[in-house]
A and B are shown apart, each in its own frame.
Chain A
């Protein structure tokens, strides 16, 4: 099932488990929401909020990074179930392990690529135009988040009960 709002909601247990991750992502989201709303109101009353877009970009990066990890931790990734749902439990578990392993390798590659680009851009001191928000920490966050996603996928592939709920 790959609709944009899954029918199943997160449980209170899940929400507690992802504590710090939740605060980073939710914080980014609320900051983006508030800044954008203030910027719109400011524009209407003739007091534009300069650099709002740059703050929102940074906030959205935080939200995106933490949300990818949250989605991975809670097995919320969109998957086509047409065939695997019809398989007996044993092959389904093996396919699930395989899918998790492929996912881990993909995110490990992305993390390496992001780390490589970060290393190359390290001494260029990239920053945003108006507020001079440095890109270095933002790049590091992306590297760490994608590495963390890879680790979670790898753990899901090797844990003893992998794929039991798949």
Chain B
């Protein structure tokens, strides 16, 4: 009962506009006070605060953010899209395919869905509209492609999950590789099928010369090598995630210098933006950890697990119920809030059911991504509308629908075949 009241109180505070981390912290602190008394609750919160800011593993977050901001400063934002557009842009639906490839490439730097949608949207949308693509396909492909940023490593969402669930961030990154690549493939197949069905929505256009293609590929080669080194280094066990993040940040700084984009202003802007985002995430993590302690004491997870067991059907029923809960909550809460609220409740259930927490992390982020492209939250839709102001939101949503269908099939595949998530870490011995 206490746990349920805590969840309700949290939802009320979130709705009233209290910052996510603070709302979780307040409910956690208040709940702990009721359960174990004020003094122990306060002491526990103080311990969480100090241990969190002193935690070496959390260094991965600001360092990856720094790498991303150095890459932005190096002007790398549009390079992946440009290269893909030169290579396949002339084919039917080619620019939409290039948007997905650009989102995957940019997502591997930014680790963020909104930043990916906004950046690729800025370069991809005008190009597609100029070449006669339908608004629905152009906006839909970028909005959906943007969600790749949440899953493709190094993913900010996976880092936060790893910290909350006390799971290896390196294993999570390795586990995300196949799901992220297959997600991009699903989107590409969707575009190909749509363009085959209605060729007018993504017309074939002029082919770029080989010189142009070579030049655009050469432009991304340093960046691609850096991303490969960072992700590959983690997957192969060369570096810990924190080490990989620092190597990535140093590499991105050198890349910035090589491209003659390194000056005091760009350095200062990259550091300031990193600090701002880092602060936001630290507050969220501190609040979520306090909330998590409270949840573990309430026994809510056990009660929900008992309820699920009562339904019969074992793992499958539990997974279907969890998916429905996540999709329902994802309609009213944004991704981060959804993850922070549900992890302390659902993770113990997942463990009790004998499912892998690593699989759960990928499944959770994958479900969370859906919230980025469906109303009423659908932040990617708003980001895209902010770029293509004359396209109504309803048309953007119409454009996203085929990708949303692909998302559901992909999610079902990840549920039905957990090996898609777990095989690579097992094979590489992560």
Q: What residues of chain A have their CB less than 8 Å away from a CB belonging to chain B?
A: 1-7, 9-10, 12, 14-15, 18, 22, 25-26, 29-30, 32-34, 36-37, 39-40, 53, 56-57, 60-61, 63-72, 74, 76-84, 92, 95-96, 98-99, 102-103, 105-107, 109-110, 112-114, 116-117, 138-139, 142, 146, 166
Contact = CB atoms under 8 A, between A and B. Distances in A.
Given A64-B58, A74-B276, A33 B283 contact: no
Contact of B29 (A34, A71, A106): A106
B13 to A, nearest CB: 7
Nearest to B333: A80
Given A2-B335, A3-B336, A9-B269, A106 B26 contact: yes
8 contacts: A3-B156, A4-B157, A26-B275, A33-B63, A60-B58, A67-B279, A99-B16, A109-B29
Given A40-B246, A67-B276, A76-B276, A57 B22 contact: no
B21 A77 contact: yes
B20 A78 contact: yes
Contact of A110 (B17, B49, B66): B49
Given A7-B115, A67-B276, A84-B16, 13 more contacts: A5-B156, A15-B272, A33-B246, A33-B249, A34-B250, A36-B242, A68-B282, A79-B20, A83-B16, A102-B18, A102-B22, A110-B25, A117-B46
B254 to A, nearest CB: 11
Q: Give me the 7 closest cross-chain CB pairs, A-B, nearest first.
A: A71-B279, A113-B46, A4-B156, A67-B279, A36-B246, A77-B19, A2-B336
Contacts of B45: 109-110, 113
Contacts of A57: 54-56, 59
A22 B111 contact: no
Contact of A5 (B20, B111, B243): B111
A5 B68 CA distance: 9
A71 to B, nearest CB: 3
Interface stretch (B127-135, B210-218, B375-383): B375-383
B54 A60 contact: yes
Contact of A1 (B43, B68, B268, B379): B379
Interface in B266-298: 268-269, 271-284, 286
B315 interface: no
B287 to A, nearest CB: 8
Nearest to A71: B279
| A interface: dominant SS | helix
| B interface: dominant SS | helix
Contacts of A14: 272
A32 B246 contact: yes
B114 A78 contact: no
A39 B334 contact: no
A7 B49 contact: no
B247 to A, nearest CB: 6
Contacts of A109: 29, 42, 45
Max chain A C-beta neighbours (<10 A), residue from B21, B63, B245, B280: B280
Interface string B26-64: 100100000000000011011101101111101100110
A103 B265 CA distance: 33
A34 B333 CA distance: 38
B278 A64 contact: yes
Nearest to B115: A5
B15 interface: yes
Interface string B402-415: 00000000000000
B14 A80 contact: yes
A71 B280 contact: yes
B47 A117 contact: yes
Contacts of A72: 279
A78 B54 contact: no
B50 A63 contact: no
Nearest to A25: B275
Given A77-B283, A78-B280, A22 B271 contact: yes
A40 B243 CA distance: 7
B156 A78 contact: no
